[in-house]
Amino acid sequence: MTTFVAGGSVNTPFGVNEFLRSTKDIKREHYMFAASTLPARTIDGVSGQKVLQRGVVLAKIMTGPEAGKVGPYSTDTTGVTDGRSDPENIVGINETFLPWQLMERDVEVAAVYEASCVQAWVLEYTAAGGATPQPLSNETADAMQRGGAAGKGVDITWK
């Protein structure tokens, strides 16, 4: 027989991050995401967890064994040396929620490269943030607008 136990346990909130201001006129491109580029985190005492949220800025990997795939853009220019820290290599914003799949393999993801988004809801990795993504900086947001460093193929309007 099923019973209810008052108090239960408290877990870290878990769900899909929304980053789009509007769902009208969104343009996407598909890429292979390199699982090795996503930092593992400890969630509720379980280490080695890899969760790719929607809204993470993606950049193309230019060197190494994962070249040609994408990974999370990082402002950490000393720790990330495969091209993902260069704003010129930004391809868009991740739209695919992967709560566990990257612990096992590389996965194809959709990157939004033209849309209207809320800057505070878009995420990037920084050296200071470690394995936890941080809200998008103004510098990266500027690079993702038409005419910015990544303006060759990315045009995000910020709200």
Mean predicted confidence (pLDDT) in 26-40: 95
Name the CA radius of gyration of the chain, rounded: 17
Does residue 1 surpass a pLDDT of 60? no
pLDDT for the residue numbered 14: 74
Average pLDDT over all residues of the chain: 89
pLDDT tens readout for residues 54-102: 999 999 999 999 999 999 999 988 889 999 999 999 999 999 999 999 9
Q: Which residue has the higher pLDDT, 12 or 156?
A: 156
| pTM for the whole structure | 0.89
CA nearest 66: which of 105, 17, 112, 20?
105
Exposure string of 123-132, with b = 16+ CB inside 10 Å and e = fewer, is: bbbbeebeee
Q: Is the pLDDT of residue 2 over 70?
A: no
pLDDT for the residue 11: 74
Containing H/E element for 157?
Answer: strand 155-158
